[in-house]
């Protein structure tokens, strides 16, 4: 039995969001390991990673920003994973995912500004996270709008 086009599109958007959140979580783990090891070899030819990770902006109340990112990505993964299983998450999961992605995108924008105009160093893995969370925001916006359509 073939799914209707709307259902296939919704499933694709859900799956793409889940894959992006897993990529974001893996990137955040990488940045967290880099934060604690301070290994310049992990920067893959760019010393910006260490510079950014050693800046005063890399922590908030001694909590690494990469840990906050990891928690956000894991929260999105959890919500997406529970959507098909729990009615309450099916009802409110899209708005929660949207809120997390919006907050993450705004925070990533702020951190990117700091990298370019305050720290004067760019961490490519931080940029990957910024792009991933922005893509999740786009997908979650589409999913949220589609939920409200008949």
Distance of alpha carbon 45 from alpha carbon 8, whole angstroms:
41
Q: Tell me: the pLDDT tens digits for 50-77? A: 889 889 999 999 999 999 999 999 999 9
- Where in the chain are the domains? 5-148
Say what the pTM is.
0.92
Mean pLDDT, the chain, rounded, equals 91
Beta bridge partners of 64: 59
Does the domain formed by 5-148 have CATH 1.10.10.10? no
Q: 106: pLDDT confidence band, cut at 50, 70 and 90? A: very high
- The pLDDT score that the predictor gives to residue 38 is 81
Beta strands in the chain (DSSP E): 59-60, 63-64
- The pLDDT score that the predictor gives to residue 150 is 62
Q: 145: pLDDT confidence band, cut at 50, 70 and 90? A: very high
Q: 5: pLDDT confidence band, cut at 50, 70 and 90? A: low
Average of per-residue pLDDT across 129-139: 98
Among 3, 25, 18, residue whose Cα is nearest residue 143: 18
Q: Specify whether the CB–CB gap between 97 and 76 falls below 8 A.
A: yes
Beta strands in 12-131 (DSSP E): 59-60, 63-64
Q: Which residues contact 136 (CB under 8 A, 6 or more apart)?
A: 17, 20, 21, 24, 76, 97, 101, 104
């Amino acid at each position: 039995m073939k799914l209707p086009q709307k259902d296939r599109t919704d499933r694709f958007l859900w799956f793409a969001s889940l894959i992006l959140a897993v990529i974001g979580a893996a990137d955040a783990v990488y940045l967290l390991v880099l934060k604690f090891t301070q290994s310049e070899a992990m920067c893959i030819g760019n010393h910006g990673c260490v510079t950014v990770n050693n800046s005063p902006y890399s922590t908030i109340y001694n909590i690494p920003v990469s840990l906050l990112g990891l928690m956000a990505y894991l929260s999105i993964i959890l919500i997406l994973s529970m959507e098909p299983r729990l009615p309450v998450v099916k009802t409110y999961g899209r708005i929660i995912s949207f809120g997390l992605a919006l907050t993450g995108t705004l925070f990533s924008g702020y951190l990117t500004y700091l990298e370019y105009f305050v720290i004067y160093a760019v961490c490519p893995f931080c940029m990957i996270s910024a792009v991933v969370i922005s893509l999740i925001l786009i997908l979650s916006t589409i999913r949220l709008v589609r939920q409200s359509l008949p």
